[in-house]
Structure 1
Amino acid sequence: MERFYTDILQNELLTQRQMLFVSGPRQVGKTTLAKAIVEQQHGQYYNWDNRQHRQWILQSVSNTTDAELLNQIGVHELREQRALVAFDELHKYKDWKNYLKGLFDLYEQQLAVLATGSARMDIFRKGGDSLMGRYFHYRMHPLSLREISAPHTAGQLLQDLQRPDSSALEQLRNFGGFPEPFLKADTRFYNRWQQLRQQQLIFEDIRDTNTVQDIAHLDVLATLLREQSGQVVRYSTLANQINVSVDTIRRWITLLESFYYAFRVTPWFQNLASALRKEPKIYLWDWSQVKDTGARHENLIASHLLKAVHWWTDHGLGDYQLHYLRTKDQKEVDFLVSRNNQPWLLVEVKSSPSQPINKNLHWFQEQLGAEHALQVVMDMPYVEADCFAAGKPVKVPVETFLMRLV
């Protein structure tokens, strides 16, 4: 299955001077993406986990003219366009940023660089960002309803109206959006895949690249977060459950975020004197792990919204952020999407069309001046209508809503 990222990132590599960094969860499809782009552009692919590739990379650090890797890439050859090289999981090399900085500074005119990784690749070095101005960062997400069902129009904020694939939403609910279990749609395979992925993430990826003294306790925290999807994070409660300090819980959740296991959604409090300001809500990148049906539905919508705000921001369409709304007197709406630091979209998630519109949608829209306020209903059939044309809160079928996103 070709992802919509492929053509767009390939065009970026051809037209922009900057390197491209693509990060995202383990097994979301980054390696397949890199290999597809390399194949189409007749480039070279190197994986840090491959011993021979790792040797070539390390040899090229000190030898910038005769290194085997640079000869394979062809940076010293006369070409019609820049040579392309893709580095997979290079972030596992402790000096990866300086390595790429050196390549870019020496061969900016001859070399297009794509680097992928299953941990965050947008973190600054202490003392400043040595890669400032040298890269664009894209975050790769699991499959979404739109990506499965219809083509993506680049440079367009909201996608055109299109009917979704008839079975896609149910498949996404049951098997999540990671390509392999989604495409197989087999419960036994899914169960085995999930167990193995969790072990590899915690006991290999995180353990091998970070100093965590008790990795088993971190695994327990990951399980607790799975049970608390959509809930406000209580650091002290989690600390008592695992018998570690609050600071340790904060650090471990940040670590799980950096490896794309979970993400926090912070409260919006600008122009709301009574709004909560500190406690975030937690969601999983793989919503299929959430057992409670209502919480899973909310997590699925959260993940689709996060994919949209990341793509819109990474693609240069503005600065978009995902928040939630809650006041001290218990007024609440599930999600707020801000555009350039202004409220733009309010989203409330409900299961049944018989449930009335959340009155807080009206209240928050009046208070904040958000352009759109939608109550997304999970068990409501698709309607071929533009939900973003309504100026006031309206019930929207989930498929109608999700098909307008990426």
Structure 2
Amino acid sequence: MNIQSHIVEQNLQWKGNLFPVPLLKRDLFDKLYTSLKSPLITFLNGPRRVGKSVLLKQIINHLVSRNSISPSRILFFEFSPRQKKEFIWNVYLYFKQNILQNGQPIFLFFDEVQTIPGFEITIKEIYDNLDQTKTKIFVTGSPSMSYKRKMAESLAGRFIPYRLFPLNFREYLRLQESSLQSKLDDQDIDNLTRIGNAEQLNLEFKRFLSWGRLPQMLFMPENERVYYLDSSIDQTITKDAFDYFNIQNPSALSALFAYLCQNNGQIIIKENLSKASGISLTTVTNYLDVLELMGLTYTVYNSTNSIVKLNSARKIYVSSMFGLKNSKYDPQTAFGFAAESYVLERLLERNQLITFYRNRNKEVDFLLPKSKIAYEVKYRPEFQQPKVILPDFELKILSYSGSLPVCLF
């Protein structure tokens, strides 16, 4: 198939059609749609299969059907690995020469463009050579893309990053069209009533943590969900890690991730991990970074000082998509750590520094130094109040069914 056929095939709006995507939208949709008003490049990053492409197509549908934007002003293209950076220019030039009418504001949606080596140079050239008051560019990719030094240098001051996480509980209920959604609506129901429904909500929340984090999994038969989740991990570790980071030993990377799944939310000492696995300390350090950059894990330190961090304790959580995978804990404890991963993702959406507190045998799960708020997750029906005093922080307990249930966070 030639380039023209590829482009025309992907741009359904040119034929008077809308993209066949769900009508219900992720919470991030409104922020992304508002970013249309900014001349800066909107960069949407997130791990595999969380719905980045769907969001772009929903925005295009909205532009055409609600804002009456001419389809000829919109270009969408999903890139594939091993295409050269000149291919990006060729896609744009075809649009400019064959579809676009001169002088009109345009919308360029480049999906998974990070698969092309040197993409950031071409995106910069396109951005700098167009009238930025009449051009809006959307780019999607994996989390690793936003942390590459060359992108930060080439596109410095030209983009705004947005991060898409797995579904949150409200989104899950909304996509399921569940009657429980009304029990979470602050406008329709007061806090005491919501707490009264916590038991019913928690039953659904456990299902959500088990298999409800990726949009497509919601509509799969149960026997297909495990395969889908495993294939997502496999493609990320064996394919993406090689494409982006030239990982030469994916089996070691996979084994390291499996270990982190088994020890979700625990303090990790790299030196001990290196000795136990037989993998060099340099490789362990590199692979831990790679797993985090790909959105599979999150690292939380007990210090805000960038120098002290190098030698400070660190807890590593796996993405809540995989929080119950291969856990060595009993089911209740495993759900507790999966709930911590979920809370961490909700906090990361706030774009604030997150640390944890640990002093001798006393620990608090998450601290937000800027907001002066501390969160302790106690995902059990019965628990003891933490005996920790943090003078500068307001301590909030996220529990199974207390005044602030985890499922309502």
TM-score normalised to structure 2 length: 0.77
Distance 1:251-1:114 versus aligned 2 partners, 3 A rule: same
Query: What residue in structure 1 maps to residue 207 of structure 2?
Result: 171
Query: What residue in structure 2 maps to residue 347 of structure 1?
Result: 375
Shift of 1:127: 10
Q: What are the equivalent positions in structure 2 for 1:151-162 lying under 5 Å apart?
A: 160=186
User: Which amino acid letter does the alignment assign opposite residue 46 of structure 1?
Assistant: F
User: Which amino acid letter does the alignment assign opposite residue 119 of structure 2?
Assistant: W
Q: Give structure 1 stretches of 5+ with no counterpart.
A: 152-158, 314-319, 382-386, 388-395
Contact 2:379–2:406 (Cα < 8 Å) also in 1: no
Q: What are the equivalent positions in structure 2 for 1:223-262 lying under 5 Å apart?
A: 223-262=258-297
Q: What are the equivalent positions in structure 2 for 1:6-405 lying under 5 Å apart?
A: 6-13=29-36, 15-41=37-63, 42=71, 43-49=74-80, 58-59=86-87, 61=89, 67-71=93-97, 74=100, 77-79=102-104, 82-107=105-130, 108-125=132-149, 129-149=153-173, 160=186, 163=194, 166=201, 168-181=204-217, 183-184=218-219, 186-268=221-303, 278-285=312-319, 286=321, 287-289=323-325, 291=327, 292=329, 293=331, 294-310=333-349, 312-313=350-351, 320-327=352-359, 329-339=360-370, 344-360=372-388, 363-364=389-390, 366=391, 369-370=392-393, 372-378=394-400, 380=401, 396-400=404-408, 402=409
User: Which amino acid letter does the alignment assign opposite residue 89 of structure 2?
Assistant: V
Distance 1:35-1:117 versus aligned 2 partners, 3 A rule: same
Partner SS state of residue 382, structure 2: coil
Distance 2:174 2:216 in 1: 19
Distance 1:63 1:44 in 2: 9
Residues 208-258 of structure 1: CA deviation (Å, up to 9, x unaligned)? 232222211111111111111110112122212321211110100101111
Contact 1:89–1:117 (Cα < 8 Å) also in 2: yes
The structure carrying a bigger helix percent of its residues is 2
Distance 2:294 2:173 in 1: 28
Q: Percent identity?
A: 22
User: Which amino acid letter does the alignment assign opposite residue 106 of structure 2?
Assistant: A
Distance 1:72 1:267 in 2: 56
Distance 1:73-1:35 versus aligned 2 partners, 3 A rule: farther
Residues 186-224 of structure 1: CA deviation (Å, up to 9, x unaligned)? 431211112211211111111223222221111111111
Distance 2:120 2:258 in 1: 33
Distance 1:147 1:332 in 2: 31
User: Which amino acid letter does the alignment assign opposite residue 207 of structure 1?
Assistant: F
User: Which amino acid letter does the alignment assign opposite residue 281 of structure 1?
Assistant: K
Partner SS state of residue 129, structure 1: helix
Distance 1:72 1:229 in 2: 52
Contact 2:209–2:338 (Cα < 8 Å) also in 1: no
Distance 1:72 1:224 in 2: 52
Contact 1:119–1:259 (Cα < 8 Å) also in 2: yes
Contact 1:175–1:185 (Cα < 8 Å) also in 2: no
Contact 1:234–1:279 (Cα < 8 Å) also in 2: yes
Distance 1:83 1:128 in 2: 25
Shift of 1:9: 0.6
Distance 2:263 2:99 in 1: 47
Contact 1:377–1:397 (Cα < 8 Å) also in 2: yes
Partner SS state of residue 353, structure 2: strand
Distance 2:170 2:153 in 1: 35
Deviates more, 1:260-269 or 1:300-309: 300-309
User: Which amino acid letter does the alignment assign opposite residue 78 of structure 1?
Assistant: G
Distance 1:126-1:25 versus aligned 2 partners, 3 A rule: closer
Distance 1:245-1:59 versus aligned 2 partners, 3 A rule: closer
Contact 1:145–1:168 (Cα < 8 Å) also in 2: no
Distance 1:307 1:126 in 2: 29
Query: What residue in structure 2 maps to residue 384 of structure 1?
Result: none
Contact 2:205–2:407 (Cα < 8 Å) also in 1: yes
Residues 355-377 of structure 1: CA deviation (Å, up to 9, x unaligned)? 221111xx12x2xx11x312221
Partner SS state of residue 86, structure 2: helix
User: Which amino acid letter does the alignment assign opposite residue 102 of structure 2?
Assistant: E
TM-score normalised to structure 1 length: 0.77
Shift of 1:11: 2.0
